[in-house]
Amino acid sequence: MIGKKRQRFDTGMQDIASSLKKPRADKTTKKINQRIGRFKERCKGIGEEYDIEMEENKGTVVTLSWKYNPDNRAERKVGKYFIRTNIQADQEQLLWKLYRILGEIESSFKVLKSDLDMRPIFHQKGENIEAHPNLAVLAYFIVSFVRHRLKQNKIHHRWAEIVRIMSTQKCNTNTIDDSKNRTVVLKTCTRAQLKAAEIYSAMKYKPSPFYRKKTYLKI
């Protein structure tokens, strides 16, 4: 995390320093201080860990330098994460596999609670309350199967992201009355976008549930 923040901060400061070489850029001390201050606000948690120096000449910034201070507050907050287990140390693959399973279990509960609306439960009758989590668990069986199939094809999206991608494909319904006193209902399905098509392919489904359907209704 800190490494990514440092990289972002260095890139932003380099952009500010590069502007000093542009002939029409505002290089006044006030303007450069404003840019640095606004940039540090966007980089909270890392900007204050840098020592920034400016060389001026008659109110104009000539050079700009910055240096990361290794003995700072952010570095002191960095700790170490330990996992306590009775598995032997030489069974690293088994340990990592079980740890990943724990993460998958936590993700499962998150999907059940948020994406599948397992809670809160607003029902009052006992049979309705029992049916609610049962339906949520049944729905998760489908979620689990879809994600397992996608992972086999190196697609590791969360369920919310899968729903978002697939929602880009729409079904259009148009109706019109013909001369025979009938209502013609036309249904068409839009083309699947690239990411949606990849999911269809991984699931071994057609890229479109249907192309065009026409039905007649009597007026």
Residue numbers of the chain with a pLDDT score lower than 70: 1, 70-81, 219
pLDDT recorded at residue 46 = 78
What lies within 8 Å, CB to CB, of 23 at 6+ separation is none
pLDDT recorded at residue 48 = 76
The tokens describing 33, both together, are: 């201080």
CA neighbor of 199 nearest in space, from 169, 152, 162? 162
What residues are paired with 61 via a beta bridge? 56
As a dihedral over the C-alpha atoms of residue 36, residue 38, residue 43, residue 47, rounded to 10 degrees, the angle is: 40
> Is the separation of the CB atoms in 192 and 207 below 8 Å?
yes
pLDDT recorded at residue 56 = 87
As a 3-state breakdown, the chain gives helix, strand, coil percent values, each rounded to 5, of: 50, 20, 30
pLDDT recorded at residue 153 = 92
Q: In this structure, which amino acid lies at residue 121? A: I
pLDDT recorded at residue 150 = 94
120-124 long-range Cβ contacts below 8 angstroms, 24+ apart = none
> Is the separation of the CB atoms in 54 and 22 below 8 Å?
no
pLDDT recorded at residue 210 = 82
> Is the separation of the CB atoms in 43 and 55 below 8 Å?
no
What lies within 8 Å, CB to CB, of 144 at 6+ separation is 108
Cβ neighbourhood burial of 132 (10 Å; 0-12, 13-18, 19+): middle
d(CA 139, CA 154): 23
pLDDT recorded at residue 186 = 92
pLDDT recorded at residue 100 = 81
What residues are paired with 172 via a beta bridge? 188
Q: Is the pTM for the entire model greater than 0.75?
A: no
pLDDT recorded at residue 58 = 84
Q: In this structure, which amino acid lies at residue 30? A: K
